[in-house]
Amino acid sequence: MGQWVRLAAEGEIKSAKAFEIEGKRIAVFRTPEGFRALDDVCSHEYSLLSEGEVWDGQVYCPKHGSAFDLATGAACGLPATDPVKTWNLKIEGGDVWAQLP
């Protein structure tokens, strides 16, 4: 697996925040179970999941409303059928880090 990249201090991520690392957009979500990260760009068309509503462990794409599981990236509702990639995160020194693929 790839190297770890610091994203932000934990406190800087309120509910959802977008980052760009190595040319890839990632969306990090604060959930009751901890931070979760997905590819920010929807698998259906171009829309940013970091701007979607989060409800019950899923984020709803702001463009057409497909839901994606924050833990697995699975598409849970049409029109999207393909998953989005998940990212490994860790907390170290009060900061959130993402692992490059």
Q: Does the protein bind ligand FES through residue 38 (CB under 6 A)?
A: no
CA 2 to chain centre: 18
Q: Does the protein bind ligand FES through residue 25 (CB under 6 A)?
A: no
Output phi, psi for 41, to 5 deg.
-85, 130
Q: Does the protein bind ligand FES through residue 30 (CB under 6 A)?
A: no
Q: Which is nearer to ligand FES, 25 or 64 (CB)?
A: 64
Q: What is the 3-state secondary structure (H, E, C) of 59-83?
A: EECCCCCCEEECCCCCECCCCCCCC
Stretch that binds ligand FES, among 4-12, 28-36, 62-70, 82-90 (CB under 6 A): 62-70
Cβ–Cβ contacts within 10 Å for residue 42, how many?
24
Amino acid at 81: T
- Return the residue of 24, 25, 30, 63 that touches ligand FES, per CB under 6 A: 63
Query: Rule CB under 6 A: which residues touch ligand FES?
Result: 42, 44-45, 47, 61, 63-64, 66, 79-80
